[in-house]
Amino acid sequence: MIRVCELFAGVGGFRLGLEKSSNDYKFVWANQWEPGKKSQHAYDCYVSHFGKENHINIDIAGVDKKEIPDHDLLVGGFPCQDYSVARTGAKGIQGVKGVLWWQIREILKVKQTRFILLENVDRLLKSPSNQRGRDFGVMLACLNDLGYSVEWRVINAAEYGFGQRRRRVFIFAFKNNTAYANKVDETNLRNWLHQDGFFVQQFPIESTNLVDENGQVNFPIESKKVDGEGCIMEYDDIVDVSDTFKMDFRNSGIMTNGRIYTEQTTPLYNGKFTLLRDLLETDVDETFYLDSDEEKLEKWKYLKGAKKIERTSKTGHKYVFSEGPLAFPDPIDRPARTMLTSESSVNRSSHVVEDSQTGRLRLITPMEAERINGFDDNWTNSGMPQKFRYFCMGNALVVGLVTKMGNSIKEIIKEENNNSINDEVAITK
Active site members: 80
101 Cβ contact partners less than 8 Å away, ≥ 6 residues apart = 78, 81, 83, 95, 138, 139, 142
Q: Is 234 helix (H, G, I), strand (E, B) or coil?
A: coil
Could you give the CA distance from residue 63 to residue 261 in angstroms, rounded to a whole number?
35
411 Cβ contact partners less than 8 Å away, ≥ 6 residues apart = none
Task: Answer positive or negative: Cα dihedral of 108, 110, 112, 115.
Answer: negative
Could you give the CA distance from residue 35 to residue 43 in angstroms, rounded to a whole number?
12
Pairing of strands 307-312, 318-323: antiparallel
Where does 169-222 have alpha helices with state H? 189-191
Could you give the CA distance from residue 20 to residue 264 in angstroms, rounded to a whole number?
30
CB 70 within 8 Å of CB 111: yes
Partners of 116 in the β-ladder: 74, 173
Per-residue DSSP letter, 300: H
CB 72 within 8 Å of CB 3: yes
For the chain, the maximum distance between any two Cα atoms, rounded to a whole number of angstroms, is: 82
Q: How many CB atoms lie within 10 A of CB 182?
A: 10
Could you give the CA distance from residue 9 to residue 43 in angstroms, rounded to a whole number?
8
Where does 33-187 have alpha helices with state H? 41-50, 101-111, 134-145
Q: Which amino acid is at 352?
A: V
